[in-house]
Structure formats: C-alpha cells, structure tokens
Amino acid sequence: MTGSSLSSGTGPPPLDAGLIAAGQPLYDVHCASCHGIDGTGAEGWKTPNADGTYPPPPHDSTGHTWHHSDRQLVGLIANGSDFAQSRMPAFGDRLSTGEIEAILEYIKTWWGPEERAAQWEITQQEA
Ligand code: HEC
C-alpha cells in the first residue's frame, strides 16, 4: 500500500483500508474454515479428492484466485463455482455484494505486487 500514484498512473490503486477492515471479520467467519485463516488453502489442493471434488485452494499468491477479474470473483463467491462437483458454497443469500467486495479487498492483501498488477490488468480489460 505504499505505491506512488505519481509513478505511472496505470498500476492498481492502493487497497482501501476501510474495506479491508470490514472484509477481514467476514472472511474469518465465512471462508477461513475451508480456505485457511491466512488464505493458504488446503494442503494438496491441486489433487482431486476420491469423489472428484477438489480441496479448497489458497487465495494468496500461490493460488490462482488472482487470475480472475473482480467481476468473476464476486460472481463466483455469490453464486458458487460453475464446476459441477464443487464444494464451494454460494454466498449470495448470506452476503451482500458490498460484503463480498470487502472480503475480496482483504484477500488482495495476500498478493504480491506482481499478482496485484496482473489481476488489476485483467479487471481493467474486462471493464
Ligand atoms: C465448505 C468449504 C468452503 C468455504 C466455506 C468457502 N469455500 Fe471457496 N472454495 C472451496 C472449494 C472446494 C473451492 C475449489 C473450487 C471448486 O471446487 O469449484 C473453492 C474455490 C473458491 C474460489 C475460486 C478460487 C480460484 O482459484 O479460482 C474463490 C474465489 C473462493 N473459493 C472464495 C471463497 C470465499 C470468499 C469464501 C467465503 C465467503 C469461501 N470461498 C468459502 C471451498 C470453500
């Protein structure tokens, strides 16, 4: 959150401290049980379970959450995954879009500058 806005004008904006503060407790309650309190996911998350489902992936730089645009991620969290055998619950009946956006802002604190910049690009391209 120390990036200078004077440098280029094309990088991601600083994360919103208010949104992060709102998102953290929501993440801890709704998401941490599967994705880990620090977003590190389940060990061996790339290997399917015996029933064809997948363990919860990490949300930090080692995962691929940052490969998706903001719109895709908010939609996935609200509606669940489009993977038929997913264990990822849909949260649209429990969380407002604003709450989901706050959780996403908190998740972004786990990304390094490169992941943040890449995900910002993907989000901008889609806008
Ligand atoms: C019951 C366990 C569980 C809970 C609780 C849960 N998830 Fe998930 N989540 C999963 C699983 C399993 C996947 C793997 C994808 C699949 O199976 O479709 C996943 C996938 C995801 C993805 C896609 C990641 C990627 O790399 O594409 C996002 C984003 C996500 N979860 C966010 C959340 C958020 C935010 C919360 C809390 C509001 C949450 N999840 C709560 C189990 C869970």
Q: Output the CA 122–ligand 1 centroid distance in Å.
A: 20
Closest C-alpha to 71, from 108, 33, 36, 97:
97
Closest C-alpha to 27, from 62, 56, 47:
56
Q: Which atom of ligand 1 is nearest to the CA of 54?
A: 17
Q: Are 100 and 74 in contact (CB under 8 A)?
A: yes
**Binding pocket residue ranges, ligand 1, CB within 6 Å:** 30-31, 33-35, 53-54, 56-57, 63-65, 68, 73, 76-77, 81, 83, 86-89, 91, 103
- Residue 18 CA to residue 27 CA, distance in Å, equals 14
- Can you give the pLDDT of all 127 residues of the chain as single tens digits? 444 444 455 789 999 999 999 999 999 999 999 999 999 999 999 999 999 999 999 999 999 999 999 999 999 999 998 887 889 999 999 999 999 999 999 999 999 999 999 999 999 998 7
